[in-house]
Amino acid sequence: MSITYLEAIRAAQAKALAEDERVFIYGQDVAAFGGAFKATKTLSKEFPGRVIDAPISEDAIAGLAIGAAIEGMRPIVEMQFADFSSIAFNQIVNQAATQYWRTGVSCPLIIRLPSGGTDGSGPFHSQSMESLYSHYPGLIVMTPATVEDAYGMLLEAVAIEDPVIFCEHKFLYYHLKAEGLPDSILPVGKARIARAGRHATVVTCSAMVHESLRAAQELVNDGYEIEVVDLRTAKPIDTDTVLASVARTGRLLCVGEAFPWGGLTAEVVSRVVSEGFHLLDAPPKRLNAKDTPIPYHPNLWRVHRPTSQSIAAALRDLLSL
């Protein structure tokens, strides 16, 4: 039985609802309609009263989840698009993320962010916000790249005592399929070697793992073996796995779909430079989206974000140094 990334997210929520009575889902159009992407399809019927439609009030949606979490529930919030979580940003970074540290009372909630670009989505339905949320202390930021991780990490997120930002990639929703759902996954906080290699390391996450894997495949023809590290979580970063990979390859390219100023790729480069400078045979590189809003037209969008071609080009460049 093959299952998509999106179906895995739905299945994880169904399992969480079935096994943990503290879990409920709150978001716009999530109940009878099943969510804008159908990630909660039929769940309101299967779990009456526990999948709740919210008004268009992202601030209050996050706030309600925070209050419920403080009271011992395990709310799963669906933002209709990651981009709209900007309205909830204040509640997430100032209320949820500070709660445990300030009061000693933990705030276990999940904010699901349908993230990243797809054809024709434009500036306000395409954003990747993992770096923004990772900047703030008190949050765990997950960026699953596989069907298995989408499922397993969402279930892990329910078990975690802290607020989790769950960046699920819309580009992977329907494209990505697996043969079944895993019984277990790598522990949260551990990166995964998505492809082993010895000439250069690509560190990335989410949809960019797949672009990077394609680029790595392309470079086989040039005689290069590229290692691809899937971070899995933007926060925490598994620096050890990254450094071990760079120790094997001597070269580092960080690929991210988010905007280029700062962020996850910059953080990884910074850590490798400061903790593993001696491991590097060439200056580390970063490849991100362009420093403009995300364009609507597919012709523009495909160039705005990194793709297997631009990643392959960056790798060739890196390998020539």
Partner 1 sequence: MAETASQLSDAKLTARQRYLDAFRWMLLARILEEKLARLYRAGMIVGGVYIGRGQEAFSAALGMQLNRQEGDVYAPLIRDQAGRLAFGEAILDATRTYLGSVKGPMRGRDGNIHRGRPKQGLIAMISHLGTAISVANGMLVAKRFRGETQSIGGVCIGDGGTSAGAFHEAVNQAAVEKLPLIIAVADNQFAYSTPRDRQFACKDLVDRAIGYGIEGYSIDGTDLNACLETFAKAAQRARSGHGPQMVVGHLLRLSGHGEHDDASYIAPELKNQQYGGDCLEISTAHILGQEWMDETEMEALKAELQEQVDEAVATAQKEPAPDPFQESWHALATKHLTEGTPGI
The set of catalytic residues is 125
Among 4, 86, 217, 239, binds partner 1 (CB under 8 A): 239
Among 207, 198, 222, CA closest to 312: 222
Among 16, 76, 97, 167, binds partner 1 (CB under 8 A): 97
Question: How far are the Cα atoms of 7, 114, 161, 197, 257 from residue 39, in angstroms, in the given order?
Answer: 7, 10, 23, 35, 23
Question: Going by C-beta distance under 8 Å and a sequence separation of 6 or more, which residues neighbour residue 263?
Answer: 131, 256, 288
Q: At 55, is the secondary structure helix, strand, or coil?
A: coil
CA angle 235, 133, 306 (to 5 degrees): 80
Question: Considering only residues 66-85, where is the footprint of partner 1 by CB under 8 A?
Answer: 66-73, 75
Question: Considering only residues 191-210, where is the footprint of partner 1 by CB under 8 A?
Answer: none
Nearer to partner 1, 75 or 114 (CB): 75
Q: Is 237 in the site for partner 1 (CB under 8 A)?
A: yes
Among 91, 131, 201, 265, binds partner 1 (CB under 8 A): 91
Among 153, 152, 151, 125, CA closest to 141: 153
Candidates 8-16, 87-95, 144-152, 303-311; binding stretch for partner 1 (CB under 8 A): 87-95
Mark residue 46 as left, alpha or beta (left: phi above 0; alpha: psi -120 to 50; beta: remaining).
alpha
Q: Is 241 in the site for partner 1 (CB under 8 A)?
A: no
Among 14, 38, 86, 106, binds partner 1 (CB under 8 A): 106
Q: Is 137 in the site for partner 1 (CB under 8 A)?
A: yes
Q: Is 64 in the site for partner 1 (CB under 8 A)?
A: yes
Contact code string over 268-297 relative to partner 1, x by CB under 8 A: --xx--xx----------------------
Candidates 28-36, 57-65, 278-286, 287-295; binding stretch for partner 1 (CB under 8 A): 57-65
Structure tokens at 253: 């390219």
Candidates 38-46, 62-70, 170-178, 207-215; binding stretch for partner 1 (CB under 8 A): 62-70
Considering the complex, what minimum distance in angstroms separates the CB of residue 301 from partner 1?
31
Considering the complex, what minimum distance in angstroms separates the CB of residue 60 from partner 1?
4
What's the rounded Cα separation, in Å, for the pair 124 and 118?
Answer: 11
Neighbours of 245 (CB within 10 A): 25
Structure tokens at 294: 């995300």
Considering the complex, what minimum distance in angstroms separates the CB of residue 201 from partner 1?
18
What's the rounded Cα separation, in Å, for the pair 185 and 181?
Answer: 10
**DSSP track, 122-188:** -TTS----HHHHHTSTT-EEE---SHHHHHHHHHHHHH-SS-EEEEEEHHHHHH-EESS--S--PPT
Which residues lie near partner 1 (CB under 8 A)?
Answer: 24, 50, 54-55, 57-73, 75, 87, 90-91, 94-95, 97-106, 108, 137-138, 140, 160-162, 188-189, 235-237, 239, 267, 270-271, 274-275
